[in-house]
Structure 1
Amino acid sequence: MDRVIFHCDLNSFYASVELLDHPELRHLPVAVCGDPASRHGIILAKNEPAKAFGIKTAETIWQARKKCPRLVLLPAHHDKYREFSRQVNQLYQEYTDLVEPFGIDESWLDVTGSLHLFGGDPLALAHQLRRRVRGELGLTISVGVSFNKVFAKLGSDYKKPDAVTLISPDNFRALVWPLPVTDLLYVGRAAADTLKRFGVRTIGDLARFDREALFSLLGRHGRQLHAYANGLDRSPVSSACQENAPKSIGNGLTFPRSLSGREEICSGIAMLSDRVAVRLRRAGMKAAGVSLAIRDPDFRDISRQRRLEPPTCLARELSQAVVSLAEGCWNMDSPVRALTVTALYLISEDQAGVQLDLLGQADAPRRDRLERLDRTLDQIRAKYGRNAISPASSAGVCQGGVQEEDEEGATS
């Protein structure tokens, strides 16, 4: 193989970490969940005995309890998960500096240049990693070994828990092509529905489908998926030492009661937009795009995004754009359980300044004044707390134990 890529996936990560403190529960069906009192009564993770009952991540607790009345529920401890994730990735970096986390419990490793230092056998090295994680941290990993990132990811999913799977140029057609097309990285529900209408149900169907026809159906994404299915992924594994500026910054809220009516929905959007704008200014970034995700009380989701011109870090401009998105895709009289506002296509403030100069924006002085005002508010919040000053338009929507989630990504 020209490259040797590992994908290491911590098995049942949250549940496995919690069971380190509760070894007496290992043989029982156990799930980690949110707080039902705050309307976070969903399953976040489950162990192998719980999986045997058909318990699924993101289903509600009452649904899980119908399947398994004796399901043991444990609260989540996110600080603990972050610390274990850090320790695992630190262990990986003993083998290569090319370690790219993919979420809190998964990482890619490119060991092409360092494999000879550890015996030269990729399967033996993968098993060594698996044994070290289990012996030193008490957790198990599944490792996919392949010649690209996409197939390495498929390999770690192929056999679980505590297993190693090799997907090579010689065997990938036999192993990968019979799998459902939804198992392929970046095949989302919308793409899968489109492909199904044209008889594409497996990864092999996708690989054999006409490439230009896929472009007609899915645009550039279609061509990319065709390449992935045929083993042509060439994307690099990022260095652990590389400082990647985030390309998206988002905040999400699940409300203690559903928002009802245009005024409350707009208030929720205003609060989230303000949070995102503060983080943009702190990072020295501006957003050239924004997205909105809405969840209703029945856990149905809808999302939309749009470009922004000029790029901005102003809460009011983000809020105006997001309200416009909401009005275009949502009945503003329908109840809303959760909202997420995300700033996209981020660029540095210096780049944004150059763009403004080139475009000759007539309102540039006004925008400068507004930005200075918002930065002054940031200083007040830094000294007295972020709730010292809030947008008047957001008053009252978040009283009573809201759960807030920050999102920050190296890719949009």
Structure 2
Amino acid sequence: MERTILHCDCNGFFASVECMLRPELKNVPMAVCGDPESRHGIILAKNEQAKAYGIRTAETVWQAKRKCPRLVLAAPRFREYRRISQQINEIYRRYTDLVEPFSIDESWLDVTGSRVLFGDGRQIADRLRETVRREIGITISVGVSFNKIFAKLGSDYKKPDATTVISPENYQRIVWPLPVDALMFCGEKAAQTLAGLGIHTIGDLAACSPELLSSRLGKAGAQLYEFANGRDSSPVADGRSRQEIKSVGNSVTFRRDLSGPEDIRKAVQALADSVASRLRRQKLKCWVVQVGIKDPSFRYITRQKTLAAPTHLARLLAAAGEELMAACWNASAPIRMLSLSGTGLVPEDAPGEQLCFFGGDVLRGSEKEERLETAMDRIRGRFGSGAVKFGGLLKEDLGLDGLHRE
């Protein structure tokens, strides 16, 4: 039986939510952006009025302001966006149990088994659009197709507030003239390689030799060839099924570049504190600590270290992070972004603690630290993320305050 897959994409999601929460923004050009002072000054989303000025997602705020000097800027409110996203996905689940969120504003739905109750794919898509618009107050675009790849192409094909059906009968007419990088998983480098072969559209890709594509792009080339020809059998997974957590981490792009050992120590300590708190919240410990470093020219490296025993204590995570930094990085070289993650995760009550031959002081010390850090978690949970912090971070100017915010 031919599947019916929908891809639902919220139009200008962050901006749409802001306009819903602040109706005065609906009739002016507006955009959601990061804080320019912390060097996150890029456009995250814009409304239709701003789009009419040629403002694009991911361009800098100053570029957008040059196009539209009266552009109204709004700071992002990710907690609100997550809340609205959950409400929208619950609407989707009225029509099928198979809802797979792809990002905060996109989801796939498999409505194959729902057609008897609710009609064909177009009818279900139109009902979803009307329901989300009426109950939530924002618009969505929906692609309807026989696989996930073409359904996503359909939701991108016409915006805003539109339904596009890509069927086995019409996909060559609709899909094949599109640029090759419109195809999911065809990134910039792959598109450049394909252009060197004279492949510029999805139709060109579909007509190419799969052997040639494999020789230039490896397995990705063979996969893109299958996608271009409408062959994708990947299932829509139930997004409510618990996903196995592979890592717990955090990163920060600094207000100014890190410079020197003291800056590095502060940054690692703040990141370790954040990651340790998140590990405890999820009742996990990690065996491996990994750091990622990006310099001002965007060169990026990662290094990792296996611990003697799994932990969720900030001091031990910070010690491992500082050791990694000392081994792989010249402390005088500037750092734009730093990340710290715990991997090799195990439940917090899993065996693995190393016993000390020389008495119980080490274990008692760890227990004391755990009680202290758990108490810090409770204080932050009650009074806010900035209620308690390490003394060395009280007067920092790096932009570390938001690491505990969800």
| TM bracket, shorter-chain basis | 0.7 to 0.9
Instruction: Kindly report which structure 2 residues correspond to 1:219-230, keeping only aligned pairs within 5 A, or say none.
Output: 219-230=218-229
1:254 and 1:403 in contact (8 A); partners too: no
Residue aligning to 1:73 = 73
Residue aligning to 2:334 = 335
Residue aligning to 2:20 = 20
Take 1:312 and 1:220, find their aligned partners in 2: how far apart are those partners? 36
Residue aligning to 1:165 = 164
Identity of paired residues, percent? 47
The answer as to 2:112 corresponding to 1:112 is: yes
Q: Report the AA paired with residue 257 of structure 1.
A: R
Take 1:170 and 1:114, find their aligned partners in 2: how far apart are those partners? 22
Aligned to 2:103, what secondary structure does the other structure show? Answer: coil
Return the offset for 1:224: 3.3
Residue aligning to 2:201 = 202
- Describe the shift of the 1:375–1:212 C-alpha distance in structure 2 as closer, same or farther (beyond 3 A): farther
Return the offset for 1:32: 1.6
Instruction: Kindly report which structure 2 residues correspond to 1:143-158, keeping only aligned pairs within 5 A, or say none.
Output: 143-158=142-157
1:42 and 1:59 in contact (8 A); partners too: yes
Residue aligning to 2:236 = 237
Take 1:288 and 1:208, find their aligned partners in 2: how far apart are those partners? 46
- Describe the shift of the 1:331–1:114 C-alpha distance in structure 2 as closer, same or farther (beyond 3 A): farther
Q: Report the AA paired with residue 103 of structure 1.
A: S
Residue aligning to 2:184 = 185
Superimposed CA distance per residue, residues 57-114 of structure 1 (whole angstroms, 9 cap, x where no aligned partner): 2322211111111212223332322221121111111101111112211111111112
Take 1:89 and 1:5, find their aligned partners in 2: how far apart are those partners? 15
Q: Report the AA paired with residue 14 of structure 1.
A: F
Aligned to 1:54, what secondary structure does the other structure show? Answer: coil
1:255 and 1:398 in contact (8 A); partners too: no
Return the offset for 1:309: 5.2
Length, aligned pairs only: 391
1:176 and 1:204 in contact (8 A); partners too: yes
- Describe the shift of the 1:349–1:280 C-alpha distance in structure 2 as closer, same or farther (beyond 3 A): same
Return the offset for 1:263: 5.0
Aligned to 1:381, what secondary structure does the other structure show? Answer: helix
- Describe the shift of the 1:281–1:19 C-alpha distance in structure 2 as closer, same or farther (beyond 3 A): closer
2:8 and 2:107 in contact (8 A); partners too: yes
Residue aligning to 2:6 = 6
Residue aligning to 1:41 = 41
- TM-score of the two chains, using structure 1 as the length reference: 0.79
RMSD in angstroms over aligned alpha carbons?
3.7
Superimposed CA distance per residue, residues 340-399 of structure 1 (whole angstroms, 9 cap, x where no aligned partner): 33445x54349986xx8xxxxxx9547x95976764453242244477565x9x857944
Residue aligning to 1:83 = 83
Residue aligning to 2:359 = none
The answer as to 2:56 corresponding to 1:51 is: no
Give the greater-gyration-radius structure (CA): 2
Residue aligning to 2:376 = 381
Return the offset for 1:7: 0.7
Return the offset for 1:6: 0.7
- Describe the shift of the 1:148–1:305 C-alpha distance in structure 2 as closer, same or farther (beyond 3 A): farther
Q: Report the AA paired with residue 46 of structure 2.
A: K
2:305 and 2:324 in contact (8 A); partners too: no
Q: Report the AA paired with residue 149 of structure 1.
A: K
| Unaligned stretches of 5+ residues in structure 1 | 357-362
- Describe the shift of the 1:326–1:25 C-alpha distance in structure 2 as closer, same or farther (beyond 3 A): farther
1:292 and 1:322 in contact (8 A); partners too: no
Residue aligning to 2:346 = 348
Instruction: Kindly report which structure 2 residues correspond to 1:200-349, keeping only aligned pairs within 5 A, or say none.
Output: 200-261=199-260, 263-265=262-264, 267-283=266-282, 284=284, 286=286, 290=290, 292=292, 294=294, 296=296, 301-305=298-302, 313=311, 316=316, 320=320, 324=324, 333-343=332-342, 347-349=345-347
- Describe the shift of the 1:218–1:3 C-alpha distance in structure 2 as closer, same or farther (beyond 3 A): same
Take 2:154 and 2:303, find their aligned partners in 1: how far apart are those partners? 35
| Unaligned stretches of 5+ residues in structure 2 | 357-361
1:380 and 1:388 in contact (8 A); partners too: no
1:42 and 1:58 in contact (8 A); partners too: yes
Take 1:77 and 1:407, find their aligned partners in 2: how far apart are those partners? 11
Q: Report the AA paired with residue 185 of structure 2.
A: Y
Return the offset for 1:281: 4.3
1:141 and 1:163 in contact (8 A); partners too: yes
- Describe the shift of the 1:381–1:183 C-alpha distance in structure 2 as closer, same or farther (beyond 3 A): same
- TM-score of the two chains, using structure 2 as the length reference: 0.80
Take 2:195 and 2:327, find their aligned partners in 1: how far apart are those partners? 31
Take 1:15 and 1:277, find their aligned partners in 2: how far apart are those partners? 33
Between 82-91 and 368-377, the greater mean CA deviation after superposition: 368-377
